[in-house]
A and B are shown apart, each in its own frame.
Chain A
Amino acid sequence: MKMSMVIQEGIINLLLSPLRSLLALLGILVGTASVVAMLSGGKLAEHEALKQFESLGTDLLAVSLRQRSDSESQAVSEAPLNAALFPVSVLKKNGIRLMAPYVQLFHEMQYDSQEIRGTVLGVTGEFFQAAHIESARGRLISDMDAFNLYCVLGNSVYETVRKNSLEDPLGRQLQIGKNIFTIVGTAKSWPQNSFVFTNINDAVMIPAQTSMLLSRNISDSNIIVRLSSSARADAVEEVLRRFLSVQFPGRDLVFQSPKELIARMTRQTEIFTVFLGLIGGISLCVGGIGVMNIMLVSITERKREIGIRRAVGATRPDIRCLFLAEAVMISLFGGVLGVLLGVFISWLTAVFWHWSFAFFLFPPLIGFSVSAATGIFFGIYPAWRASLLDPIEALRAV
């Protein structure tokens, strides 16, 4: 019997009991949907993670110097962290293009006697280049600012200040701790990024040297390093480690490179994927059992039909094909709906997390083939049972 006929008959039989078919394919639908959603979601997350580095570049190395928790922190001498510590020749030789140390401070800030939330960053001129921050208005901090009380507002801080005071803050005063700073510029909106720990949009940037005056005890400092194209991250890391451990004894050095970060994100995505995959697998299994159940019921009901078909010359493989085709048809139909639902769910996820949505061909393909495989796997047993029926007994059935 021709394949097309078998398929056509399968579809007709399914349409004759639509409710039952629908219930049977529900499990498959959920299973496929979760498989597709998880794969697409994982892909989207990965895409999103990589996109961060599109704006920032991957030639980065982040170093943070952390106060060792066990040592007496007060005993450590506070050498001011600034770019001048590193001789340019050393940098060039080791493939470091830019070196931008910055410190993070927590101080109360007031503008127009209204409190402002945000962090204070002590930065050098290179910082803006290294972190790709652009000036929106006025100017940025430069090394020439030395110990002056100038500050640059991040985009969000600028917006809040502007909204609260209804006037342009440029050139006006901002109180940080006990000192009055003059606002000399604002930065453009900056895409947030898990590589530079602070959100620049919520920050007020002041000259690095000034920050030393504000606070004696800066516990954590960070450096953003940009490598030249030929440099190897681990070699640079080694040089910096040697250099910094001499300069800042008693500090822990934590290095972070985009590669490492991407690897970590990938690992997280993998865990997520395995977990969702498990859920998908279980629901596919349940769905498959549902299909098997429905098929067994259908065979009991259609015993007589099987008998008649056998009498007019259907072979055992013919009967097997007939029922297997129906099971596969249910699963495929469930699979198609599941794929649609899965893509929709991943789209919802993307909208919810403000990711950009992209359609990947791979997850639907996988979901579709997995559902087909489930149908075949769980359809084999009922079909085999049907084919083994004794024609006489089947004919006698009502």
Chain B
Amino acid sequence: MKNITKIYRSGPVDCPALNDVSITIHRGEMLGIVGSSGSGKSTLMNILGFLDQCTRGEYWFAGSDVTDLREQELSVIRNRRIGFIFQSFCLLPRLSVLQNVMLPLLYRGMAVCDSADKGMAMLERFGIHSFFRRKPGQLSGGQQQRVAIARALVNDPDLILADEPTGALDSRTGQDVMTLLTALSQDHHCTVVIVTHDPKVSAQCSRVVRLSDGSLVK
């Protein structure tokens, strides 16, 4: 993945959250982004994940310019090429574990029974298939995060974006999750980008960049 970015973002009163940030993320890399809060980590993450668009600059994703895509195309990219993992898991509480994992497949337009099969296979891979019927609220934090990872991976994305994936977990389950992510990047050549301020987490990344006041610090 070639990724040359130059980002400048202005808030409602034109306060720059990111200032001329350029970064290249390679395929299969496990990149850690660290920085104090307010340094623009999340903004960078949102732009990387096509949730937001930069005010100025270019974003090249997998060899093509994706800076000026329309809303519809952004949704498609988010659906097929990006997997999100959030600090607070972000599972839908009304749906069952399996339905949560199936959701990206359904939005992709896959038939219900096919996506159920695939979702089950994914849950099995992470060893949580036994409670596919339960609601996320009935699971422990570590289990929920594994469901979230299963959901992120179900569409075979090119890029996995993890925003403080261990932030809401205790150190042991956090370590489990980290082991999972490391395995993903090494065995499946997935690109993983982790935003964190936990030094133990960033230590496991193959490369770490630091953001400060919207700029990269080498």
Residues of A within 8 A of B (CB): 1-2, 4-5, 12-13, 16, 304-305, 307-316, 318, 391-392, 395
Tell whether, in the assembled complex, residue A313 and residue B94 are in contact, meaning their CB atoms are under 8 Å apart.
Answer: no
Q: Known interface pairs A13-B94, A308-B92. Does A314 touch B107 (Cβ–Cβ under 8 Å)?
A: yes
What is the minimal beta-carbon distance from A298 to any residue of chain B, in angstroms?
12
Tell whether, in the assembled complex, residue B92 and residue A313 are in contact, meaning their CB atoms are under 8 Å apart.
Answer: no
Report Cα–Cα, A315/B151, bound state, in Å. 17
Tell whether, in the assembled complex, residue B78 and residue A5 are in contact, meaning their CB atoms are under 8 Å apart.
Answer: no
| B57-92 vs A, Cβ < 8 Å mask (1 yes, 0 no) | 000000000000001100110111000101000111
Partner of B78, one of A12, A16, A305, A312: A312
B103 at the interface (CB under 8 A from A): yes
Q: Which 10 A-B pairs have the closest CB atoms?
A: A313-B79, A315-B75, A312-B104, A313-B107, A308-B90, A313-B78, A391-B51, A311-B84, A314-B107, A392-B51
B46 at the interface (CB under 8 A from A): yes
Tell whether, in the assembled complex, residue A2 and residue B106 are in contact, meaning their CB atoms are under 8 Å apart.
Answer: yes
B109 at the interface (CB under 8 A from A): yes
Q: Is the interface of B mostly helix, strand, loop or mixed?
A: helix
B111 closest partner in A (C-beta) = A2
| B126-149 vs A, Cβ < 8 Å mask (1 yes, 0 no) | 000000000000000000000000
Report Cα–Cα, A13/B112, bound state, in Å. 18
B102 closest partner in A (C-beta) = A5
Tell whether, in the assembled complex, residue B94 and residue A309 are in contact, meaning their CB atoms are under 8 Å apart.
Answer: no
Report Cα–Cα, A2/B49, bound state, in Å. 25
Report Cα–Cα, A309/B92, bound state, in Å. 9
Neighbouring B residues of A313 by C-beta, 8 Å? 75-76, 78-80, 104, 107-108, 155
Neighbouring A residues of B46 by C-beta, 8 Å? 392
Q: Known interface pairs A12-B94, A13-B94, A305-B92. Does A314 touch B75 (Cβ–Cβ under 8 Å)?
A: yes
Tell whether, in the assembled complex, residue B76 and residue A312 are in contact, meaning their CB atoms are under 8 Å apart.
Answer: no
Report Cα–Cα, A395/B49, bound state, in Å. 13
18 contacts between A and B (CB under 8 A): A2-B106, A12-B94, A305-B94, A308-B90, A311-B49, A311-B78, A311-B84, A312-B78, A312-B104, A312-B151, A313-B76, A313-B104, A313-B155, A314-B107, A315-B75, A318-B107, A391-B51, A392-B52
What is the minimal beta-carbon distance from B123 to any residue of chain A, in angstroms?
16
Q: Known interface pairs A308-B90, A311-B51, A392-B51. Does A2 touch B112 (Cβ–Cβ under 8 Å)?
A: yes
Neighbouring B residues of A314 by C-beta, 8 Å? 75, 79, 107
What is the minimal beta-carbon distance from A309 to any residue of chain B, in angstroms?
7
Most buried by B among A16, A307, A315: A315
Neighbouring A residues of B94 by C-beta, 8 Å? 12-13, 16, 305
Report Cα–Cα, A395/B163, bound state, in Å. 12
Given contact pairs A309-B103, A312-B104, a sample of 12 additional A-B residue pairs in the complex whose CB atoms are under 8 Å apart:
A5-B112, A305-B92, A308-B90, A309-B107, A310-B51, A312-B79, A312-B107, A313-B75, A313-B78, A314-B75, A316-B72, A316-B75
Report Cα–Cα, A1/B49, bound state, in Å. 22
Partner of B71, one of A4, A12, A309, A316: A316
Tell whether, in the assembled complex, residue B72 and residue A312 are in contact, meaning their CB atoms are under 8 Å apart.
Answer: no
Report Cα–Cα, A206/B71, bound state, in Å. 91
Report Cα–Cα, A307/B103, bound state, in Å. 13
What is the minimal beta-carbon distance from B157 to any residue of chain A, in angstroms?
10
Neighbouring A residues of B80 by C-beta, 8 Å? 313
Neighbouring B residues of A5 by C-beta, 8 Å? 106, 112
Q: Known interface pairs A5-B106, A318-B107, A392-B51. Does A310 touch B90 (Cβ–Cβ under 8 Å)?
A: no
Neighbouring B residues of A312 by C-beta, 8 Å? 78-79, 84, 103-104, 107, 151
Report Cα–Cα, A392/B50, bound state, in Å. 10
Tell whether, in the assembled complex, residue B92 and residue A1 are in contact, meaning their CB atoms are under 8 Å apart.
Answer: no
Q: Known interface pairs A2-B112, A16-B94, A391-B51. Does A310 touch B75 (Cβ–Cβ under 8 Å)?
A: yes
Report Cα–Cα, A316/B107, bound state, in Å. 11
What is the minimal beta-carbon distance from B74 to any residue of chain A, in angstroms?
9
